Amino acid sequence: MIYLHIIFWLTTLLFFFQVLYKIIIKNDYFNISIYIAIGVHFPFMLYLMNWSILIEPNISVIVYYILSCLNVFMIISNILIEKSINDFSFDFSTKRNKKVVFTVNFMYLSIVLLENYIGSGFFLPALHGVDIHTYSAPILSYFSESLYAILIINFLYLYKSKEKGFLVWIIIFIAIPLVGKSSRMTVLVSLVQLLSFMLFLYSNDKKFKKSKSSFLNSKRKKLMVIASLSCVVFFMVFLTEYRWGRYGQIQVSYADSIGYTGPKILENALAVFYGYFPLSYNNLNLNILNRSVEHNYIGLYTYKGLFFGLFRLHNIFNLNPYQPDVGKYFKTGSANVLTGFYDFYYDFGVLCFIPILTAAIIYYLTWIRQVMPKGIEIKGFFVQKN
């Protein structure tokens, strides 16, 4: 089994060489490998640095096996796909009147507040010390959890019209989950998606790229964005400890709760990041080592949105959509996420490469059949390509 460790480090090294090639040579800052390097490999490397007394030193070879499969499939995908999305030019125009967008904004805001009220009896439950960050109301959650979609609509209209009213809406939609529901991950994921799209748009829209008023040519705008994001991040850190301390009832340090032993600079922020991301690999490892699992080999929980969302199998058979979490093993309630890789292992066992391979194939086919022949298109109910 020692060969798996060697394969992991060799494929990881090759993977990072590809990432550097994409960034430095191809100027492709939005390649899928970059997101995997930041979102998957970087937390894993920090996990290996043992910045918590809770970390189990014995790491299962399955963990290395899963990440090695990911490396191999991404390396092959990058070899097969030579072009980048930067090779395509595009432009878009707004299709709907701004009044339609404002109507949609009010509808979305009403749905979010209604879901909060149904789940807690308050429109902004977090302000009343009520934690419902995991609550999802039937039907309403299909809309309330589409934060990125509503953010991108408002950003596209802000980009074209320069009307600051759309920026106000964006700020409101980012703030509501935080101050109303203590929901941070939804906001964090949506912000990463929105910022990725913003950077891509500003760096590839040739019409505005050279403009003096462009975001890329304005130091003041860049500083404002950096300052705003920093405030959001530190507020999330504060909210994590505040919620963990039962909304101020208990004085508690998140760093102490996970036995954080890492750098002392920005300790609170680093501890929260470490608990929510690198320590998730510890939970993955602990559950692989300590739990006996009967695999189903059809991806019941890997493709939960299909089997339990679309097909609603839990209403037909005696199935629990959250079965992988039943009896899960973790050392602290402060960090109890198992990562999505555990669902792969829970379903497929040693064949857990199947969903990773499937995702890589879909990624490749999307490029070959959609992106490369047509270029980048932005079309929909609100916007269309010129």
- Mind listing the pLDDT tens digit for each residue in 292-308? 999 999 999 999 888 98
d(CA 112, CA 181): 10
Q: Which of 295, 287, 298 is nearest to 342 (CA)?
A: 287
More confident residue, 353 or 26: 353
Contact call for residues 299 and 351 (beta carbons, < 8 A) = no
pLDDT band, residue 113 (cuts 50/70/90): very high
Contact call for residues 262 and 49 (beta carbons, < 8 A) = yes
Contact call for residues 28 and 258 (beta carbons, < 8 A) = no
Tens-place pLDDT, residues 178-200: 888 888 888 989 999 998 888 88
The identity of residue 37, as a single letter, is A
Contact call for residues 295 and 347 (beta carbons, < 8 A) = yes
pLDDT at 33: 93
Share of the chain above pLDDT 90, in %: 50
Q: Is a pLDDT exceeding 60 seen at residue 213?
A: no
pLDDT at 305: 83
C-alpha dist (Å) from residue 340 to 66, 202, 367: 11, 32, 24
What radius of gyration do the chain's Cα atoms show?
22
Beta bridge partners of 52: 260
Q: Is a pLDDT exceeding 80 seen at residue 157?
A: yes
pLDDT band, residue 95 (cuts 50/70/90): confident
Q: What tokens does 351 get?
A: 């064949």
d(CA 353, CA 73): 9
Q: What tokens does 374 get?
A: 């047509």
What's the average model confidence in pLDDT over 286-296?
A: 95
Look at 57-61, 177-181, 309-313 and tell me which has the smallest mean pLDDT. Answer: 309-313
What's the average model confidence in pLDDT over 235-247?
A: 72
More confident residue, 313 or 147: 147
Looking at every residue in the chain, the average pLDDT score rounds to 87
Contact call for residues 258 and 251 (beta carbons, < 8 A) = no
Q: Is a pLDDT exceeding 90 seen at residue 209?
A: no
Q: Which of 21, 81, 12 is nearest to 42 (CA)?
A: 12
Domain boundaries along the sequence of the chain: 2-88+276-374, 92-252
